[in-house]
Structure 1
């Protein structure tokens, strides 16, 4: 029966992906052969083990291994399936030869208290964008300096770990630390160690997450049962250790502030990556260093009613992100050159300081000192400048960036074309009106997730 269920889920998962039948045949045969092998092994074990309980445990374990190893279903479905089967043994115990269920129903969901589940919750919260907002909040308060970020981040994690397991608190804040590192270019290695140690020290603030103290309380309670009333020891209350715990956390934070520059690890490559990239494009293509700016269009700005195309042609800056209150526009199928700019629109611009200065003076926009709306989506870990090549077999040959609506179709904002010894850019003019030739190297700004779109479509366009 378990093999039949596995086959059912396998068919469901493959057909749901819309794969052609001939593509699934080898995988189907492999899974069927594996299912037969696991079935034979299960029958052999059932005859060899001493009790019926061990036989059923072995069967469920083999089924779980089969589902995980051959990815018949998702790992989450496989895990829940094993849990449900263990629960059903209590309901069907008389029918399957058991006196009672393999696992008490009260213990079925104990696995959800694992630290691994906390890590999954952290990843889930990161997907919702909450962790991005937490990172932005910390950066607004602390700025972009290491000396202010470390104490604020460490104290936050220390406080949270006082009311939950310190491993879970650290796992919960991993996405936050990663985003902060990506946004300000601070080495991740210099943020993780203070956060980890303060998560450990924060566990001493209360009795909730201090396993040794909880164990000590149990030992005191057990010892008191054999002692006379006058000799019994008082157990620790919830906040009995708070003064000591706070002193430890504060000491840890002060230590990392004062000695962090000497003891915290630092990867030199993490510091020089941005500089090396800018130097590379400057030396190779003669491009001046471009910066990403975030601006807000006020109601009195002459940009109101102007299209994206008109703005870019007049001021020689590239719009790479737009927020008009109806959702973030970034990447493929998002920014249309005919898109109109309205009052209150937030624009993410890419350009040199020279062109941006002229643009800001003439357009009366409000420039933000740091990225806020686009802090996450335009972080270096998610977007940046790349090089792509026009293959000889591509149907893009002979067409211009405007002809193919390059930004809307591929999510690529064209900055320059490198053709032999010639560099065509915004400074020279005509970069988007220049027909592509085989072997042209295009310098573009893109979200990293859009690059696979180019690799799939560029040769077929």
Structure 2
């Protein structure tokens, strides 16, 4: 091995130690690698040292983060979660099967962590409803999200990286659903293991943390008893509401009711509106009100409007169109103390409706709009997402629940269309994934599925930095013979067992590097090794690379191995031993399926 080969190997070892110990921030370590390789001459050309910044896989991964965020923010993920919640019932195996199935589908197209974030509060609510400890469901939730990443090209960053290496090596990368040929059996075997074996080792333990105490909008509605107090009023030809603004009608001032939303029929169907004080009612508007029936009847009678039944799942319909509900408390030093909601002009100030007031042990039944506020009063607030989020910086109110689960399902069809723009061109051979994914991500923002000022926070910049920094390291290891040396050593050591042993070695190495650094680093470093090792064994390069990709996603044994594990650890009350006990068996199942099928299909 040459001098520069040894330099590359030393850089790899030092980087691995720093990745594992976290003495220095991971992204700083990763971005230092191209500099060191260039300075030492291991990668002499600056274009090669900085190749990661222009790599197609990096662009595709960044775009996929935005696409996944669009699916989350537009309500596509929440819609699937809602269906799981309705169909789950109270049987633990049934709940586990439905949750794992939904998570696997979502994580095939979304960030694994984003999938867990969307479904974590839903699964906690399911556990409570079925009288199960959350620990019986949350670890399978995290594991299923990792398993789902094995199904598609965009399921994980490691999948995109091994495909990009194959494209640069042979001129043709892996297809969008080529991973599913082996990935689907992996998912099925993994879920069966969790149902039949792993479930027996899951602890019965109540967790603590944000996921365990998260207040769903639907739960708040139930706690305050609002499900029965939502009414619909139709603005007719003779209605006094017609042509008047919300402020002029006296709703909320003369009538003790609040407007949740208004639906208006137009040329392109029904449109949901969140009215402000200057909103003007038109004929045919359906006004969703919350308040005592007597007040709604008085409003309808005095304004000559028609009352109607809100319909089944009225609360869900309102929440599904961008109306969020949160709970907020009045702190001891609030400027609202001793003043009424009318005096502080709450609706004009925040653009939100106060649906109910909770004092002492229950909701206040009287006209709370004229009741002086006291420290400790809790209010149920409803309104658009952006208005709710502004409360986070308020000195007069303290949020008791977060509005993060607010969703506007009206954007869901557009989000699915954007996903189609990203996926279909590569499937049809019309454009590379990097280009189509970038186009789909731009459309997510331009169509409003994902707010432009929010898009950046969904991109996992640390992952991108790790990829950008390790791409030239992979190049150096390949160019200076390190990859050949490792591949020859693996082939020679496993000559007695043939291809299965080599693929098992690649899988194990990928899993170990993923746990100690990241799955992206493992994919970059082992891709050239996998291709070199495949040739003398008569395996196709794609089979060896797929094995590496599946190994990169085998992160079940310890909580810090994957972000999904960390996200469920505290809400589920899990210890490291819990992950070792349940995750070890799942790792063996995934490894056996991956290596066996790669050997059979790659020969």
TM-score normalized by the length of structure 1: 0.47
* Higher percent of residues as helix: 2
Larger relative CO (CA 8 A, sep 6+): 1 or 2?
2
Q: TM-score, normalised by structure 2?
A: 0.38
The structure with the larger Rg is 1
